[in-house]
Amino acid sequence: MATRQDPIAELSHDHGHLNALVLAVGQGLTRVERGEVDGFDEVDDVVEALRDALLAHFAREEEGFFPFVESHIPSLHARIETLRIDHDAVCKLLDALYGTVRQAMRESDGHAACALAFGRFEDLYVTHAQAELAFLNALGAALDGPLRDQLHAILADI
């Protein structure tokens, strides 16, 4: 019989993968700057992977996790709303980074613009990820076994 993974741990684990992708973008930009790679193809690939993973993570939270928590612990609505607002801001900066990298690919230039866009994204992403992980850690004790099972089932369908 398969053991269900804890949904809070699953969401926390997502951050490890996302963090690795953010680091890979920064490392790719460093390799471009040093002339170790020719062009922005590698950076573009990692930004696309980051975008896909981040959107999937945010969807799980916004479509399943946040509504579930708000329905069981309504007092957390304001904190969750702040996280939702952060999601929108992170997505806008990631879209700006994606567009900047795409433009740099067409022009075979633009490292400075990419580095600036990445810096803005990274600063907000790190702040948001820390806030979200603190929220997940604090919430952990408030959700008992049956609630975690319900949450796991909801997230599995997203």
Task: Tell whether pTM > 0.85.
Answer: yes
Contacts of 41 (CB under 8 A, 6+ apart): 105
**Domains of the chain, start order:** 7-156 (1.20.120.520)
Give dist(CA 144, CA 153) in Å, integer.
Answer: 14
Q: What is the pLDDT of residues 116-156, one digit of tens each?
A: 999 999 999 999 999 999 999 888 778 878 888 899 889 98
Contact 91, 121 (CB under 8 A): no
Q: Over range 72-80, report the average pLDDT.
A: 93
